[in-house]
Amino acid sequence: MIENILNHMTLEEQVSLLSGADFWTTVPVERLGVPKIKVTDGPSGARGAGSLVAGVKATCFPVAIALGATWNPDLVKRMGVALAGQAKSKGASVLLAPTVNIHRSGLNGRNFECYSEDPLLTAELAVAYIKGVQSGGVAATIKHFAGNESEIERQTMSSDIDERSLREIYLLPFEQAVKKAGVMAVMSSYNRLNGTYTSEHEWLLSQVLRKEWGFDGIVMSDWFGSHSTAATLNAGLDLEMPGPTRDRGEKLVQAVRDGEVKAETVREAARRILTLLERVGAFEATPDLTEISLDLPEDRALIRQIGADGAVLLRNDGILPLAKTTLDSIAVLGPNAAEARVMGGGSAQIAAHYTISPLQGIRAALSNANSVHHAAGCSNNRLVNVFAGDMHVDYFKGRELKGGPVHSEPAERGEFFWFDLPSAELDPADFSARIIASFVPADSGEHVFGMTNAGLAKLYVDGKLVVNGYDGWAPGDNYFGTANSEQRQAVELEARRSYTITIEYCSPADTSDGIHLTAIRFGVEKPLGDAAIEEAVAKAAACDVALLFVGREGQWDTEGLDLPDMRLPGRQEELIEKVAAVNARTVVVLQTGSPVEMPWLDKVQAVLQIWYPGQELGNAVADVLFGDGEPGGRLPQTFPKSLSDNSAITDNPLVYPGQDGHVRYDEGVFVGYRHHDTSDIAPLFPFGFGLGYTQFAWGEAKASSTVMGEDGITVTLDVTNTGKRKGSEVVQLYVRALDATVSRPEKELRAFAKIELEAGKTVTATLRVTPRDLSFFDVEAKAFRSDPGQYELVIAANASDVRSRIAIENPSLWLGRVDDPSI
């Protein structure tokens, strides 16, 4: 069928398939019965075509680092199956996920969107995710290919990575997604790789991806990530997104006529697009692009289960789990206590069906909700709290708010991200809007108004200009670098008086190059001061236990910018210290998308890392705190004692954050625990670490052979739950090369098994290693190379807790060619 369609297509029709029709759909060819299909973000839910912050409600699943912490491919696969159903509920045939870039610096704004610092753990979870999604007839899109480990100047930065490090660390998850999961789509990254944009990187897209790995799906650009016409297509980029086209269309037709692109190259790219349509069933039934809200009880239960399974108990001096019946009073404190921080920021955001805060979850879990006492203590938001309340929005043609509005609508939240404008009469490059809201402060005193805008805007309070986002506008650190840095202004307000807030907005004038978006966010808040901390401390002193919910939120952990450091923002560390000083029974619950330094660690009784676990946040954390669920997580990323202990943090800015358009991965393969082990730098918490509520006894590890053969070696180990309650354990197998001929890490993760056991039960963990697991990448041989000699199989509970070692021998040289689909 596809061949017949291609034979009847004109060059122009073939070219039309190679760029999007709009932000989310492909171009149909109605004459030949070729339908259009819809794609949708993202990793933690299927948003559909709506705004990042509005639109049809969607199910909000845990973020990727929380999935990484589960070490549970079976559970991740179940989430993939659920996401396929969610994508279909939004009329989408392609899900733009998973994200498998590696945790390199600990400061990456999208660290939360990625699984792990380890390529094997990342690969195993990504394969499971993809298999789950694609089992539901929805294409998964693995991203961002490749070298996108930072958000700093990401649209132009060159990630300079040697080939060995690429092959061993950064490309492995992509390779396994192709070879083991049959992923249907790959998304190129914004950045350059060794000087060349990945969207036009022939070695990466054609040589490695297609010829060596055998990938037969489509390669699409990240949104606005295509920079050329002939170069991208010749390199292997099939689909330019979004549409309408900027680099293809008539430009590509002319490039074919001028001999810059072969007609056969266009045909092959068009064939791959048509094959994708066939694989997702678009020819069998024309896709219904209608979006509905699908809130399923089984999805709710799965999110709650993943939340507990990915929760990592980092410290516990016997206080957890809390006994509900013995607590007369609980202080639930901190900036993340009453706020449901369920997701990170950027394109991963969705409009969740609902969100449950920790405070709500704890109150629901207790028979006496009156025993719970709350105080925020301090704030941790990067931007001024977004306005919430009744608003009215008028939209105008042109950028000058002239004439009558062509569309009017109510709104409830002071954030607008216009992928699609509410009227076909409005041009994204030439429209304006007036937003009118009223604000009644609860207390008198100084309030701060803040606004950030992609486009130009002014904010007035009772007709007086307060925030000027118009004059002197310059791009800053919001909305992927398309908006200015937040502009703030303090104003004295009176309690219970109504103030009129008016925002006048106009779209960006220049949309000729780069990422261009139309968005605005405004808010108002009364800053918390010493009195707020004093209130929290007083409530902590008066209660049996103090639960401190601290961390970050989606304006810190977000696409578009990296973190400034590895500390808790605002006055949170001060809050922890002061609460712990008055209540010895203090538990810290962390919500971050990456590691944090903990100078306060020894002053609290327990620390629980809960990440951003989706819409069931409050219920999941209550399950773990009160023992209705097990904290089943293990760290997918090393937590260093200080930022300077990270391998990417050196005195050379070229290594991180980058310099003169280049960031050089000088640490090579020594990322995360590989660096800590080999350099003998003790971490705060090692890779793979996590406590539970029960105890396990490990038997003697046994190997099927002590000589590596073509079929590999199987290692078995009996694990017994010697405690009084159900729990889970992760058996980790690392390989150590004793006779290494090149610089190699002390040990490298090569297999793992997550097991769940009732009290008193025993199970046998089975792990397998192959010749490739002993290897490093030999650049000259273009192969993975296992030298003859002595190796150790290191059986461990985490990277710092080795339980046993098995000496093995590799009797002869083994070379695994890069184009061998079996390795």
Could you give the C-alpha distances from 461 to 373, 446, 805, in angstroms and in order?
35, 14, 69
Q: How far apart are CA 312 and CA 587, in angstroms?
A: 13
Q: What one-character DSSP code corresponds to residue 319? A: -
CB contact set of 630 (below 8 Å; sequence gap of 6+)? 308, 309, 624, 692, 693, 694, 725, 726, 727, 728
Max intra-chain CA distance, the chain = 83
- Give the integer Cα–Cα distance in Å for 222 and 189: 6
Q: In what order do the strands lie in the sheet with 431-439?
A: 407-413, 388-397, 431-439, 499-506, 456-461, 464-469
Q: Which one-letter DSSP state was computed for residue 567?
A: S
Q: Please provide the size of the chain in residues.
A: 823
Cα 702 to Cα 300, 698, 715: the distances in Å are 40, 12, 6
3-state secondary structure 34-93: ECCCEEECCCCCCCCCCCCCCCCCECCCCCHHHHHHHCCHHHHHHHHHHHHHHHHHCCCC
Q: Is there a catalytic annotation at residue 557?
A: no
Residue 689 in contact with residue 635, Cβ under 8 Å?
yes
| CA separation, residue 587 to residues 91, 167, 311 (Å) | 44, 42, 14
CA distances 398 to 409, 430, 509, 669, Å, are 18, 5, 10, 53
Return d(Cα 115, Cα 103) in angstroms, integer. 8
What sign does the dihedral 261-265-270-272 (CA atoms) show? negative
Q: Is 693 helix (H, G, I), strand (E, B) or coil?
A: coil
State how far the Cα of 623 lies from the Cα of 612, in Å rounded to an integer: 15
What tokens were used for 175?
């390779």
> How far is the C-alpha of 804 from the C-alpha of 699, rounded, in Å?
10
d(CA 76, CA 68): 9
Q: Name the residue with tokens 């705190």.
A: 625
How far is 394 from 771, CA to CA, in rounded Å? 65
Kindly state the tokens that stand for 256: 């074919």
Residues with Cβ within 8 Å of residue 50, at least 6 apart in sequence: 56, 291, 351, 419, 420
Span between the terminal Cα atoms of the chain, in Å = 33
Residues 6+ apart with CB under 8 A from 411: 391, 392, 393, 435
Contact 634, 374 (CB under 8 A): no
CA 137 – CA 139 distance, rounded (Å)? 7
3-state secondary structure 234-283: HHCCCEECCCCCCCCCHHHHHHHHCCCCCHHHHHHHHHHHHHHHHHCCCC
Buried b / exposed e along 706-736 (16+ C-beta atoms within 10 A)? eebeeebbebebebbbebeebbbbbbbbbbb
Q: One of 222, 238, 557, 645 is an active-site residue; which one?
A: 222
**594 contacts 563 by C-beta, under 8 angstroms:** yes
Give the contacts of 4 (CB within 8 A, at least 6 positions apart): none
DSSP assignment letter at 430: B
287 near 294, Cβ under 8 Å? no
- Catalytic positions are 222
